[in-house]
Amino acid sequence: MKVVSSAVGVQEISRRYRGNGLKIGLVPTMGWFHEGHLALMKEARNHADKVIVSLFVNPIQFGPSEDFDSYPHDLERDCKLAEEVGVDVLYAPNKELMYPDGFSTTVHIEGLASGLCGGDRPGHFDGVTTVVSKLFNQTLPHVAVFGEKDFQQLAVIRQLVRDLDFPIEIIGHPIVREKSGLAMSSRNSYLKKDEMTAAHSLSKGIASGRKLALEKKEVSVREIKKTVAGVILTHPECDIDYIEVVDQVTLQNCKYVTSDSMLVLAVTINKRIRLIDNSKIRNGR
Ligand code: AMP
């Protein structure tokens, strides 16, 4: 596996791959790999001859009081894991290279990026769409794989690719979970032992909302939200940032629960650890 830190370097490799008629798959990440990341890398391999993984903790998608400085980081550990699943190139630029003095462009998406996590984290999706646009231009992929765990991010990226005519196929990968149901996340490493039960309440809450929807044909959005919140709020460590039932494409709040409705939520544990999760309400995982 090649480890590359410069945009010019990775672009040169990609040009060579393209020149040899090879298809390139990109998996953008912020590192501290877990099985969720590795599943995306394996998925990329199913669609491409060469897999490039970017590892960059993107400062401009973090708010001033968020966890940029404490975000877990260990390049050696991540290189080993990526190599084990057959990644061809690990692209790990530093922030001075990504955002040199004088950098002044922002890619901003209206609508889709403004509610849910975009509402709680002002500027977050501008940071995401800006860095992903750069990563696309630097790595020149044919396909890029993103996780459904960041459901809103995936919708925003699809919009970005449509609006800016990136010739890239976007592939969504289902959420990879611990046996307990907890969605895997690099931020789970912040959880202390006694915070685990609170963290499990996100997937447990979702399961109870799905169960209610299964049992009750005419269930209302309000009832679902109340049931999910009831499970989560039995844990005093939990503050609910949002629980919403939204259309899976537009991300607009649903008036009624339909087969296209998604249950999406964000919860902060002990004011420190913000976790997200989602699921289809009526079918799917
Ligand atoms: P991150 O490093 O957290 O920015 O995530 C990099 C990519 O991995 C994003 O596309 C995430 O949606 C995806 N991802 C993170 N956790 C999971 C998970 N548990 N299951 C599936 N995809 C995930």
Over residues 251-266, the pLDDT tens digits come to 999 999 999 999 999 9
Least confident of 38-42, 91-95, 212-216, 235-239: 212-216
Which of 26, 30, 37, 91, when mutated, tests ligand 1's pocket best, judged by the most ligand atoms within 8 Å of its CB? 37
Going by their DSSP bridges, the two strands 2-4 and 24-29 should be labelled as unpaired
For the chain, which residues make up each domain, given as ranges? 2-173, 186-280
Q: Check if 37 is active-site.
A: yes
Per-residue pLDDT, 285: 55
Residue 187 has pLDDT above 70, yes or no: yes
Average pLDDT over residues 30-37: 98
Per-residue pLDDT, 185: 98
Q: How far is the CA of 217 from the centre of ligand 1 (A)?
A: 33
**For residue 284, what pLDDT band results from cuts at 50, 70 and 90?**
low
- pTM here? 0.97
Q: How far is the CA of 72 from the centre of ligand 1 (A)?
A: 14
Per-residue pLDDT, 282: 86
Return the closest-CA partner of residue 180 out of 195, 200, 194.
200
Cβ of residue 146 lying under 6 Å from some atom of ligand 1: yes
The protein residue with its alpha carbon nearest to ligand 1, atom 7, reads: 29
The protein residue with its alpha carbon nearest to ligand 1, atom 12, reads: 147
Of ligand 1's listed atoms, the one at least distance from the Cα of 175 is 20
Average pLDDT over residues 220-240: 98
Cβ of residue 183 lying under 6 Å from some atom of ligand 1: yes
Average pLDDT over residues 137-159: 98
Residue 269 has pLDDT above 60, yes or no: yes
**For residue 217, what pLDDT band results from cuts at 50, 70 and 90?**
confident
Cβ of residue 121 lying under 6 Å from some atom of ligand 1: no
pLDDT digit string (tens) for 85-105? 999 999 999 999 999 999 999
Residue 243 has pLDDT above 90, yes or no: yes
CATH 3.30.750.24 fits 186-280, yes or no: no
Average pLDDT over residues 35-39: 98
Residue 283 has pLDDT above 80, yes or no: no
Cβ of residue 281 lying under 6 Å from some atom of ligand 1: no
Average pLDDT over residues 261-281: 97
Cβ of residue 149 lying under 6 Å from some atom of ligand 1: yes
Cβ of residue 176 lying under 6 Å from some atom of ligand 1: yes
- CA distance linking residue 80 with residue 65, whole number of Å: 31
Pick the CATH number of 2-173 from 1.20.210.10, 3.40.50.11540, 3.40.367.20, 3.40.50.620: 3.40.50.620
